[in-house]
Amino acid sequence: MNPVIPRHSALVRVTHWITVLAFFALLISGGEIVISHPRFYWGEVGNVMTRPWFTLPIPSSRSTVPTGYGFVMPDQNGWSRYLHFQAAWALVLTGLIYAIASLRSGHFWKHLFPAPAQRSWHAFWKVIANYLHRAPPDEADARSYNAVQRIAYLSVIFVLFPLVIWTGLALSPAFDSAFPMAVNSLGGRQSARTLHFFVSGFLVLFLMVHVTMVYLGGFKSRMRAMITGRAAPSRERL
């Protein structure tokens, strides 16, 4: 019988599941907001009289937005903006708690920054090969994050999340008035909206890859670790 070993702290588990709920709320509400105007621009100004940088091939929930479709979607713009705002602040506050506590405890240095043995392309591709061959995780992998996980998590925590927060705040007129340079450096409010859309897309891509890796690495053991904080080196093959 494999020994049960510690994997995730209570802080990591609680902030992880709050982030999951907030992210899905942002994804659903953000999709509804995009449907109200599925056209994207570059610069400060963008409206139906402005030539878009690109247009999503979907119908709109507003009849005044030209999409080429002969019908409009139900308008859910009211509740979706309210939910998007609330979920965004929940995500920001959760992220701040996680970052401050992780800096104090050394979680970033101990568990996320690649260990010396993981700082090579060989270690990176070895993990990929193990996933592709559906090899069961060894004890070291069960105790900590592998090279691919560490790089992915660091990219999300220190690149994608700050960018999605920055570009999201840039869409607020109040933030624009208080910090005009933060918005102008992005190219304007419409540029910020376009960048916000693409960064959100990268986060969705990360989510898909993350779930796939959890599945290939042993779904039951990974989920058990994120719920209870403990896991055993799994020998299950899917």
* 60-91 per-position pLDDT tens digit: 999 889 888 888 998 888 899 999 999 999 99
Q: Virtual CA dihedral for 15, 17, 170, 59, nearest 10 degrees? A: 180
Model pLDDT for residues 17-54, shown as the tens digit of each residue: 999 999 999 999 999 999 999 999 999 998 988 999 99
So what's the pLDDT on residue 131? 63
Judged against a pLDDT cut of 80, whether residue 56 lies above it is answered with: yes
Q: How far is CA 205 from the centre of its chain?
A: 8
For the chain, percent of residues with pLDDT exceeding 70: 81
Judged against a pLDDT cut of 50, whether residue 235 lies above it is answered with: no
Domain edges within the chain: 5-231
So what's the pLDDT on residue 24? 96
Six-digit token string for 214: 């959890």
Model pLDDT for residues 114-144, shown as the tens digit of each residue: 766 666 766 666 666 666 555 555 555 555 6
CATH of 5-231, one of 3.20.20.80, 2.40.50.140, 1.20.950.20, 1.20.1730.10: 1.20.950.20
Mean pLDDT of 220-235: 74
Mean pLDDT score across all residues of the chain:
84
Judged against a pLDDT cut of 50, whether residue 190 lies above it is answered with: yes
- Nearest residue to 195 (alpha-carbon basis) of 151, 233, 162, 155: 162
- Alpha helix ranges (H) inside 37-120: 77-105, 107
Return the minimum-mean-pLDDT range out of 78-87, 108-117, 229-238. Answer: 229-238
Q: What are phi and psi of 55, to 5 degrees?
A: -130, 135
Mean pLDDT of 92-119: 82
* pLDDT bracket for residue 227 (50, 70, 90): confident
So what's the pLDDT on residue 150? 80
DSSP code, position 39: E
Neighbours of 181 (CB within 10 A): 7
